[in-house]
Amino acid sequence: MKDLESLSATQAIHALARREIKASDLLLSCLDRIGQKESLVKAWASLGKENALSRAKTLDKGTVKGLLHGLPIGVKDLYDTYDLPTAYGSPIYANHYPATDAVSIALMRQAGGIILGKTKTTEFASFKPSQTTNPHNPSHTPGGSSSGSAAAVADFMIPLATGSQTAGSIIRPASFCGVVGFKPSLGKISIAGVKSLSISLDTMGCFGRTVEDVALGVAVMSGDHAMAKVQELHNKPRIAICKTSLWSLAGKETATALAVARHAAESLCKGSVFDLVLPKSCNTIDQVQTRIMISEMSRSLAFEKNHYAKKLSVQLMKQLDDGAEVSYAQYAADLTSAIDAKASIQKLFNDEVDILMAPSALGEAPLIKEGTGDPIFCRGWTLLGLPCININVTSGPNGLPVGVQLIAGPGKDHLLLSTARAFARALPDPVLRDQA
């Protein structure tokens, strides 16, 4: 079997389990691709080639071990790894080796996964860009903060990579790079061993090339192994489009993507796809998310600010200073507002809709000099803790991918995956249908 690096995670797992391919051959194929493209894409913070190859050879000799047996994985450099440096995208932690793996990474190794290396993140998963470029056009951003993970999967360097989202750090780079990105429900995956920005918002997830890939990744990372097998969509869900109050900011390519998405979803849903406006309690969720995030960041990174201020970027220092200006009374009021908004969203999903479709980003990936892109179309869903998945739907004026996110009710991760796979199958472009 040739071009092993082009296999999706699910395809590779099936071939590995049937002993049609060797873990060592798959790993070498990925390393060869990295050797060809890394100087341009710059997706990796570090690689553990020798350890990974040794583990692959050991797995090739033994019995099939777990859901990820022999699969190479990229780990966002926000997750602790005991055998690879974990810098959190900051010079403060250069050559920092944690004593243990993050919980989710330990579970991936336990399931037979091979940690190939750490993918680049923005500084402490904030907004200062990493060096990573968009694989489709190196003058454009891959998005942030999970820059390296999205780019490495998109460029066929790795079939599966972890990410995290506090505002829009999984969904936005997935859209910019044209891959599937899955942010499960808040709390689905343990954040233990991951450098936290905002304890109320931080959500772990992953990137793959298909819906089944990201389902497999989150199944292992969370311990919910039933998620590894995406169920067929037997009942037609109620599907609505939520453009949000910020729709005026969306580019023409985003409007086109939602139009394509509406058409594809019409064949899946109960009745027609309708437009939906969120309850009044959600009118300020974007501002609430921002204040909660920067307020918690100012405390989460207090040590770094106190001891290493000169090693923090100007952008991050401003965020920390702004966060410190949010009074505790305002912070407490925002947490209460979030609870109220979550209650009304729960009622909305109970009474009116099963799946929402919304923009993943303003449009296609902007130029690198313009930053990592605005997470405005993701902030509210992250605050509400809802499971979200990006599916690539069309392309923008520069030929770069443009995605749409599907969103399910609280805890409805399994329904979201089933719907997303059916949705991908319904897309008019046969290449896009490969995301199923």
- Active-site residues: which are they? 76, 145, 169
State which amino acid sits at residue 189.
Answer: I
- The two structure tokens encoding residue 156: 């066929």
Which residue intervals of 244-373 are DSSP H helices? 252-266, 285-300, 302-308, 314-324, 328-351
Paired tokens of 380: 């509210």
Strand partners, 407: 356, 388
Dihedral, CA atoms, 58, 149, 153, 12, nearest 10 degrees?
Answer: 30
Angle between helical axes of 49-61 and 23-41 (0-180°, round to 10): 160
| Separation of alpha carbons 416 and 358, rounded Å | 14
Tell me, what amino acid is at 238?
A: R
Enter the DSSP assignment of 210. S
Strand order in the sheet with 401-408: 44-47, 114-119, 72-76, 160-165, 203-208, 180-183, 388-395, 401-408, 355-359, 239-241, 274-275
CB distance 155 to 399 below 8 Å: no
**163 with 171: CB under 8 angstroms?**
no
Evaluate whether 405 touches 358 at the Cβ level (below 8 Å): yes
* Residue 267 φ/ψ, nearest 5 degrees: -80, -10
